[in-house]
């Protein structure tokens, strides 16, 4: 029995609908509390825009996950699932004993949730922590050192929970170091890309979609569900952010998007018997190539100009395309297309 893809569709739609429904509430809350992006230098909007995107996306993630966890807990009280290793033989024997109300997918989900409970708890706690860091930056404009220290603390929490990169190097210290570097890099890459309506949101949705497809194809059901939830939550926010923005992600949202994509690049086991080792490294790099290359370009350029790497400017890929004569909307669509092509290239190979 294969995993029913309607569960993936349910994850995608539930996250999208929840985000879409929650956004008006968060828009009003942000306007009432002064959490808005006011017009100013390097801004193209004439009215204050609520920084509600991050809060809405987080709501779109948490509510479906909470509902699914409660549902699986209820199923567990109805009938016990066999606590056996998740091998092919074990799945076959378990499926023979499952009733129509408890299909194999529920067995796999419940097993995965219980086996990776600590890791999942650390991931969602880290998501809340990164959302808080971004919210504080939106509200009080944190100093660079304070923001970096906060990002590092959250990344350490995630690594300690078990979500770590190894790169086939048998060293715990190396694993922690490369994981922290990766999470911090991807977070700031997406933070940098949040410079035009819909750009960061769309890139996040595209990357999450490809991570979901790759994980689903490899039978990594729990990872695929998390990726589909992330994609759905971002798609639910996108109509309010592009082409005309009625809400912004803010630093809270861009931090959250970067964090989620960094984690989704860590969770899947990209190395399989049918895939060479180097693809375990190349797959996430290709899927996230656009924001990562933009980050590298901007940091190098700022270094040459003698500017701090964290100081904002108008030298991002999107800004350069606009200076070439493209409209912001066409620029965003073109960058989305580049990310889509790169992700499709990885999936085909």
108 pLDDT more than 90: no
* CA 327, chain centre distance (Å): 27
Question: Per-residue pLDDT averaged across 156-181, rounded?
Answer: 89
More confident residue, 107 or 301: 301
Side-chain-side CA neighbours of residue 336 (13 Å): 21
Tell me the H-state helices in the chain: 5-33, 53-78, 88-97, 104-115, 117-140, 144-161, 172-193, 199-217, 221-237, 250-266, 278-287, 289-304, 317-323, 328-348
Give per-residue pLDDT as tens, 57-66: 999 999 998 8
Residue 86 CB contacts under 8 Å (≥ 6 apart), including other chains: 108, 111, 112, 115
More confident residue, 176 or 37: 176
pLDDT for res 110 = 53
If you write DSSP's letter for every residue of 288-328 in order, what string do you get? THHHHHHHHHHHHHHHHTT--TTS--S-SHHHHHHHTT--H
98 pLDDT more than 50: no
b/e burial code for range 144-174 (CB count within 10 A of at least 16 → b): eeebeebbeebbebbbebebbbeeeeeeeee
Question: Per-residue pLDDT averaged across 107-120, rounded?
Answer: 63
Structure tokens at 59: 């709501």
* CA 211, chain centre distance (Å): 10
**Contact criterion met (CB below 8 Å) for 195 and 319:** yes
Domain ranges of the chain: 5-276
Question: Per-residue pLDDT averaged across 331-337, rounded?
Answer: 97
pLDDT for res 134 = 95
* Mean of per-residue pLDDT scores for the chain: 84
* CA 260, chain centre distance (Å): 3
More confident residue, 166 or 40: 166
**Contact criterion met (CB below 8 Å) for 251 and 187:** no
Give per-residue pLDDT as tens, 204-253: 999 999 999 988 888 888 889 999 999 999 999 999 999 999 999 999 99
> Maximum Cα–Cα distance for the chain, whole Å?
67
If you write DSSP's letter for every residue of 129-143 in order, what string do you get? HHHHHHHHHHHH---
- Taking each helix axis as running N to C, give the angle between helix 172-193 and helix 250-266, from 0 to 180 degrees, rounded to the nearest 10: 140
């Amino acid at each position: 029995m294969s995993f029913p893809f309607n569960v993936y569709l349910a994850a995608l739609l539930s996250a999208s609908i929840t985000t879409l429904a929650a956004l008006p509430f968060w828009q009003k809350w942000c306007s009432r509390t002064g959490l808005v992006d006011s017009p100013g230098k390097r801004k193209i909007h004439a009215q204050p825009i609520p920084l509600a995107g991050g809060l809405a996306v987080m709501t779109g993630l948490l509510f479906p996950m909470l509902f699914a966890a409660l549902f699986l807990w209820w199923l567990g009280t109805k009938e016990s699932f066999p606590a056996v290793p998740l091998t092919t033989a074990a799945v076959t024997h378990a499926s023979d004993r499952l009733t129509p109300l408890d299909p194999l997918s529920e067995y796999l989900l419940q097993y995965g949730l219980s086996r990776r409970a600590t890791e999942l708890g650390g991931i969602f706690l880290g998501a809340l922590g990164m959302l808080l860091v971004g919210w504080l930056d939106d509200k009080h404009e944190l100093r660079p050192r304070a923001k970096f220290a906060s990002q590092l603390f959250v990344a350490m929490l995630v690594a300690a929970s078990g979500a770590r990169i190894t790169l086939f190097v048998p060293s715990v210290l190396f694993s922690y170091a490369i994981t922290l570097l990766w999470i911090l890099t991807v977070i700031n890459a997406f933070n940098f890309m949040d410079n035009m309506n819909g750009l960061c949101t769309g890139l996040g949705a595209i990357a999450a979609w490809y991570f979901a497809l790759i994980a689903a194809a490899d039978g990594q059901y729990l990872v695929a569900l998390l990726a589909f939830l992330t994609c759905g939550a971002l798609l639910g926010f996108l109509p309010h952010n592009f082409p005309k923005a009625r809400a912004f992600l803010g630093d809270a949202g861009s931090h959250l998007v970067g964090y989620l994509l960094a984690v989704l690049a860590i969770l899947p086991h990209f190395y399989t018997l049918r895939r060479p080792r180097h693809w375990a490294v190349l797959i996430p790099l290709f899927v996230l190539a656009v924001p990562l290359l933009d980050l590298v370009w901007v940091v190098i350029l700022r270094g040459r100009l003698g500017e701090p790497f964290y100081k904002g400017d108008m030298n991002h890929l999107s800004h350069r395309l606009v200076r070439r004569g493209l409209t912001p909307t066409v620029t965003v669509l073109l960058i989305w297309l580049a990310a889509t092509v790169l992700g499709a290239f990885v999936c085909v190979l």
